[in-house]
Structure 1
């Protein structure tokens, strides 16, 4: 008889897990580990549009670092694993529950955002109604985009910040910089910022003859099907500085000249959507980018530029009564910003919805820094050439 029945037997055989339990434990561990890596360290993204050509191409698959700028603590913590804002195989079923929302916090990073960094961020916008009303003008501005795509991209304001669409652009200006664009050339703090050698701008090409060898043009990287003809031997197309130099060397090319949009009248849809500012895609500014701790004077000239940042991004109640502005029901003659902001532009300057249309990107929208391309597919190529081997594991600059 065992008189010490209350003591646990140390030699009792352990209960063996079933195969099903082992699989469940393994899957749960993998999901948790992958989620931690995705949220705090590194995440994969794909390039869906040509707004960053030729720096990044449609079909490029990237790794984006969350560590460089500091990982952003999830603002919408309850969400389906590995889904962004909609459930897999659906178009409208939410993959998150916004009943719990956390304030913006970011872990310490390796560095601050620098000019010319290629950055992934959540799409910044203001009011759903305002964006719906502007969707038609955006449709006219953003080349090679369908009306349905523009509306789906811009009408996302009811989503939490971290569940909005992911965009990737080049950071042209950081907090405190003064940005201006003249004839398509960007200046930062009064100094011209040359377009990256892979960036694209519109150029007018005049040929010496009507007998044009288009295969040679395509070999340089231009898409002849997208070239706009302006005469028997004159075409308009987007090209990089590198391609332009090669074009000029061809014996049947007479001239290649930059062809930005002339500033003849105000272009609808250009930030800050102020009818008093006669700005367009290639001519705007100067605009000072808000910095944390910077105080701006509130007047009729500044408010069109900073209204959305003060109200939407920094969460203040902003009203105009007569000629006076009220912030949180108090008469305001100045405002001190709580966050840093950035100015983002696509390298393919005439095929990019960027800060020229929707203004500043707040720091709480920043996702991470694009590091390198791990895979690249060309959907237009033949079967044996689908993979762009030369782009695999290449850095992003």
Structure 2
């Protein structure tokens, strides 16, 4: 005798129970596999019996709808019995996920992608370092300042005094980030979260300056340098190519390391430039062009933009104090396992013209992507 057909709502309820049972069966099976060494033989058999009953229910079209809630209740009790929730279990699980995420991030940084901050304007206008822009009006409201900081890397710096005072000294310090204590002749001290070199060299503050009441001590906008992702894996697969932006360490480049030692700095730095010459290339600077192997045609679009001298580019130039390529007649042959690095902002770049080729062992990777701040340069690096 055939049973009466199920109504639409009954069929929907049956499907819901079937999905719930199938998820519960799979979850118990996964837990049994993970904890196979911890479960007793009796517990494993109990779990297998439940899995078989659920499988039988799901494959039998004539199974009673009343059976599903009973199986679900049995399954919940079985899971709680075999795999009891441990104290602070959720916290431990979240901590484990957090640690795994950190390990994955460190692995990616070590072998594939590394963030890098553009420190100077040597690659401008392709990539920007920290910019300082003088302002006249007061800064915008706090919400606007926060939005500008998060999206565009803009920080507004503004300080004025309530009465006349003369600047006596600038005392640098650091508490997580750099700050400067401004000392005035009336005894007051103003702490500003700005590095002292920025205030001295870019803003022009110095001891002896006098400020009147209501007059700004400084009023400027700083824009973060471009933050880029560096592809660290690429040079394990192929050598550098002319025209690509690359990052390298300064270790072993004596022209850079000696300057660092003169300033009391130990260890190497990371530089970002454009690779304009590969091993065997003959280079000459005939401003605004860089001749490669005698050719008058730039080898790629990136270097053609520099030579064109438009849209913020100035071409390749000869600077006072450089050690190589001092005239259009002088040639340099890039040595084996060496690469010639030059900044796109040739008039304001310390590069291979001053300290020679970059050794192959110093290469880190190619500049891949500007990920912050949001600007016209956001995106792939060319």
TM-score category of the 2 structures, normalised to the smaller one: 0.3 to 0.5
Q: Which has the higher contact order (CA 8 A, sep 6+)?
A: 1
Structure 1 or 2: more helix by fraction: 2
TM-score norm. by structure 1 comes to 0.45
